[in-house]
Structure formats: structure tokens, C-alpha cells
């Protein structure tokens, strides 16, 4: 095995915990949704319940996709061996497509369930502004100081990122986890903007499963790539 590969035992590290956290968050989210209300509403012939389920599945697909690609590359160089120099490009396109569909799926639920939230007016828009400011600053900081390649896991493919210091500019001056802490706020913010109880519940689910992904997949990978 080449010296830069990680032990195959790392492949499933924390994934059982990941599954348990996902199931618990799924159970909590499903318990909070007004299924009767969602069932009565539809968009383009698709019921609100189906749109909600599709969004849940997109979160699962995104996390599974990233885990499988990252760990396959770290432990076996499978993606690079199969696709050569195009491996990362193919992965990053898939990452972007699934990520965009995740956002759109929450938005569609928000449109179907529009104005079901019992918070309106200045209070609601104050909350939106409070969360939107760090979220937008995070996206700016990613584009300005971090770069898309590194943000989606380029360090799993390219040694140049492993040799770079951690970014301490923009919002990353305050927290190294800005992408999870603030970037993922775009998902619950959609529910707030649409004033949708179901979309807000869905957005919070996406947000918290993002943190589960960080703890169970990305953090262990960071430890083996950069050292504890």
C-alpha cells in the first residue's frame, strides 16, 4: 500500500454512529411535520409529502456520496485510479448538482407550504437578517479565501492542499467550522423566508445532519490527513 494512503480500517470509521444520528434526526423531523396539511398540497402534480421525502433522501444521498468518495480516495485511491486526473472534477460536479438539488428541494416544500409558520412581520425578518449576515459572509469568505476545490474536499485528492496552512481570513478568523456553523444556515433560512413550518423543519434537519456528517466523516478525515 502506498505510504500516503490511509488504513482501510478508516473506511467505516464512525459511520455506524452517523447512521444512528441520522435516524434520530429523521424521527424527530417526521414527528414535527403536519402530514395532513402537506398531503393536501401539491406542486406540479407532486404532493407536499413526496417533496418532503425527496428532500430527506437528497440529504442522505449527499452525505453517502461524499463519505464514499472521500474514504475511497483516502484508503484506496479508487476515484483517481478509475478516472485519472478527471476524478476530482467528476466528483465535484456531482457534489454541486446534489447540493443544488438539496437547496431546491427545501425551497419547493417552502412554496407548497407557504405561510404556514406562525411567525410573521418584523420579528420574522429580524431573525432572517441575523442569520443571513454570517451566512453571506461565509459564502464570500469561501470564494475569496478558501476556493471551491478545497471547500468540497480537494485535500482528499491533492497533496497541495494538505501542505497549506488552515485559512484564518474572513469569517475563518472567528471559527474554522464556518461552513457548517453558518453556510448551512441557507437551508433553514429558506423555511423562514417562505414562512413555512414544514420547510423550516426540513431545513433544520439538513442543518443538523450536516453537523453529523462533519463529526462522523469530515473530522476523522481531517485528523488522518493533517494529524491530531
Residue 119, helix vs strand vs coil: coil
Mean predicted lDDT score pLDDT of the chain:
93
Radius of gyration of the chain (CA): 19
- Which range (17-26, 164-173, 205-214) has the least confidence? 164-173
User: Considering only CA atoms, which of 155, 188, 160, 183 is closest in space to residue 171?
Assistant: 183
What is the number of structural domains in the chain?
A: 1
Residue 2 belongs to some domain of the structure: no
Q: Rounded to 5 degrees, what are φ and ψ at 98?
A: -65, -40
Residue 158 belongs to some domain of the structure: yes
Q: Please say if the pLDDT value at position 30 is more than 50.
A: yes
Reported as a pLDDT band with limits 50, 70 and 90, residue 192 is: very high
pLDDT of residue 43: 85
pLDDT of residue 181: 95
Residue 139 belongs to some domain of the structure: yes
Task: Provide the residue count of the chain.
Answer: 228
Domain boundaries, position 126: 8-226
Residue 88 belongs to some domain of the structure: yes
Residue 178 belongs to some domain of the structure: yes
Q: Please say if the pLDDT value at position 1 is more than 50.
A: no
Residue 89 belongs to some domain of the structure: yes
Helix 197-213 to helix 48-76 angle (10° resolution) is: 10
Residue 115 belongs to some domain of the structure: yes
Instruction: Let me know: does 40 contact 119? Beta carbons within 8 Å.
Output: no
- pLDDT digit string (tens) for 88-145? 999 999 999 999 999 999 999 999 999 898 888 899 999 999 999 999 999 999 999 9
Tell which wins on pLDDT, 186 or 42. Answer: 186
Residue 3 belongs to some domain of the structure: no
Degrees, nearest 5: CA angle 190-145-140: 25
CA–CA distances in Å: residue 212 to residues 21, 91, 215: 7, 21, 5
- Sequence-distant (≥ 6) Cβ neighbours of residue 63 within 8 angstroms: 18, 22, 209, 212, 213, 217
Amino acid at each position: 500500500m502506498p505510504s500516503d494512503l490511509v488504513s482501510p480500517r478508516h473506511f467505516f470509521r464512525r459511520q455506524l454512529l452517523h447512521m444512528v444520528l441520522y435516524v434520530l434526526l429523521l424521527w424527530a423531523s417526521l414527528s414535527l411535520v403536519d402530514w395532513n396539511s402537506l398531503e393536501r398540497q401539491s406542486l406540479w402534480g407532486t404532493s407536499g409529502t413526496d417533496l418532503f421525502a425527496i428532500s430527506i433522501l437528497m440529504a442522505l444521498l449527499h452525505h453517502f456520496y461524499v463519505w464514499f468518495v472521500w474514504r475511497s480516495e483516502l484508503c484506496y485511491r479508487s476515484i483517481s485510479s478509475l478516472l485519472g486526473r478527471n476524478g476530482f472534477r467528476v466528483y465535484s460536479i456531482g457534489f454541486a448538482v446534489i447540493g443544488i438539488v438539496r437547496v431546491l428541494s427545501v425551497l419547493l416544500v417552502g412554496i407548497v407550504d407557504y405561510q404556514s409558520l406562525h411567525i410573521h412581520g418584523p420579528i420574522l425578518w429580524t431573525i432572517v437578517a441575523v442569520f443571513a449576515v454570517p451566512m453571506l459572509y461565509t459564502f464570500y469568505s469561501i470564494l475569496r479565501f478558501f476556493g471551491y476545490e478545497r471547500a468540497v474536499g480537494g485535500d482528499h485528492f491533492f497533496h497541495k492542499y494538505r501542505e497549506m496552512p488552515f485559512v484564518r481570513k474572513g469569517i475563518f478568523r472567528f471559527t474554522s467550522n464556518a461552513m457548517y456553523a453558518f453556510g448551512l444556515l441557507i437551508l433553514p433560512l429558506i423555511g423562514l423566508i417562505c414562512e413555512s413550518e414544514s420547510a423550516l423543519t426540513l431545513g433544520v434537519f439538513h442543518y443538523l445532519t450536516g453537523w453529523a456528517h462533519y463529526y462522523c466523516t469530515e473530522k476523522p478525515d481531517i485528523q488522518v490527513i493533517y494529524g491530531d
